[in-house]
Chain A
Amino acid sequence: MNRGIIIAIQLLIVVSFLALWEIGARTGLINPEWFSPPAEVSVRMVRELAQGHLWMHVWATTVETMVGFFFGVIGGVAFGILLGMTPRLCQILMPYLLAIYGIPRPALAPIFVLWFGIGLFSKVVLIISLVYFLLLIYVIVGIRAINPLLLRFVRTTGASRTQIITKIVIPSVMPYIFAGMKLGIGLAVVGAVVGEIIASRVGLGYYVYQAAQRADSEGVYVGLAALGVMSVFLVLGMERLDRRLFHWRQDVKI
């Protein structure tokens, strides 16, 4: 079907959904204390943005997400390459790494609060625990996928370890790193939100949770909308970057 018609239908769906919601809440068909009318939510949203309260929370969540994501990626890639290049160590550690990977890490949030307090640091650690192991495993799988003949060949031509890493290993695992980052950015946002719901004084997760505690559903929707825009922006942005850089490869399989 025509691209324009598709977009028109999509807009129609969104608009009629919001309209039904608005009408339902106004006429009392659906409980307005549960489903605040979208018009009031947007008014509140504009007010909060103008007063600047919301920005502080958006900023806090963004900082947590980006800092945790950054260190998780850097650490995961570095340790992944180290393990990928030392197969024996890798095989010894692998069952343990997979075991840690299998822990439902958002459930560890209270432990990180216990260890690191309720500030930025405990959220960053939670995010790192999510992103680090993901990247680690993607990088190891990526290194395994390098053609062994290529490695053997450059070794016979006298390439040093550093040369092998910079000229072959890193370029080969790049698509895997980006595939891991694509997943990791979403996990990072989740980690930040979970950390903020458990214990925090700032951030969008905290904002939503506080609003819910006051039974202020308008505030909940404002927080969720802000969070939605932020995470969709980050996740789809990452996806777009990945597609632009690695459009030539097939989906990375792990």
Chain B
Amino acid sequence: MASLDIERGKSAVVVDDSTMITGGRLLLGIVLLLLWQFYPELFGTNPFWLSRPTLIFGKAIELYQEGSLLANIGATVFETLLGLGLGCVLGVAIGLAVGATRTMREIFEPFLLIANAFPKIAMAPLFMIWFGIGLWMKVAIAFSLVVVVMALSTYSGMRTIRRELVNITRTMGASEGQIFRKIVLPSITPWLFVGFRVSLTFALIGAVIGEFIAAQEGLGFMIDDGMATFDTELVYLALLILFILVWCANSVTEWIGHHFGIGEDSPTMAYTTE
């Protein structure tokens, strides 16, 4: 889930027939879209299974006019951002603390790795017991996913800081605040950035899974509701919106990365699981 700049690879296996490639991509896109629209006529299947673009679009207009579409999107986005914000604050704090000294690293690294290997999403039912079925249950799920990713990426960044650099600056009389601002922060920024990008998607997934379990609004609720009433247009509409949200979030962070030159030599999130 690191940045995937496969397109710009410089290797002999990359050919540059730009017209053919763009044409191929467009053609494939159009064929797929047409297939999606007309597969019931072509194969005689029931449009129930995959719905159709026009039906989904019609559903979107209908729900938009009714006012529930934006309310549901807003609910999910709100839960996501709350979980993301809280998770980032605590995660970065943990990462900084664990990465601070060698002793701290040696003591707490195994705990971080185990937390990372644990499938946090399974704690969703536990959060249901703790927080009920309201807003905070979803926030807690998003939070639990984000906090581990951010702690681990901050910690990985801290590990790349060169000890001698810190020692030299300290000998030259730099204060702890100066060391943090001039050495620690610049070293961990790319890691924070990558962690944040992963966290965005994770927080959204967490919120949606929470809504699957119990909700009265949100995109996960739309999916659940659509499943319960066999209204597949609703399900695919919600999934489509979810996809667009992820895509927008990724594009924005990618733009920020390029603009400020952060993600350039982006480090790998070598081991993160949801």
List the interface of chain A (C-beta within 8 A of B): 1, 6, 9-10, 13, 33-34, 84-85, 87-88, 91-96, 98-99, 101-104, 106-111, 113-115, 137, 140-141, 143-146, 148-149, 151-152, 179, 182-183, 186-187, 189-190, 193-194, 197-198, 204-205, 208-209, 211-213, 215, 217, 220-221, 223-224, 227-228, 231-232, 234-236, 239, 251-254
Contact = CB atoms under 8 A, between A and B. Distances in A.
B122 A227 contact: yes
A183 to B, nearest CB: 7
A110 B7 contact: no
Interface in B214-260: 220, 223-224, 227, 232, 235, 239, 242-243, 246-247, 250
27 contacts: A1-B106, A10-B110, A10-B111, A13-B107, A96-B32, A102-B243, A102-B247, A104-B204, A104-B243, A106-B121, A107-B220, A107-B242, A110-B212, A140-B6, A149-B12, A187-B273, A189-B273, A194-B121, A197-B122, A205-B122, A224-B126, A228-B118, A231-B118, A236-B113, A251-B268, A253-B2, A254-B2
Contact of B114 (A9, A143, A193, A232): A232
Contacts of B30: none
Nearest to A252: B268
Given A106-B274, A110-B235, A254-B2, A144 B11 contact: yes
Q: How large is the interface on B (under 10, 10 to 19, 20 to 34, 35 or more residues)?
A: 35 or more
B125 A212 contact: yes
Interface of A is mostly: helix
B213 interface: yes
Contacts of A107: 205, 208-209, 220, 223, 239, 242
A231 B126 contact: no
A95 B15 contact: no
A198 B122 CA distance: 11
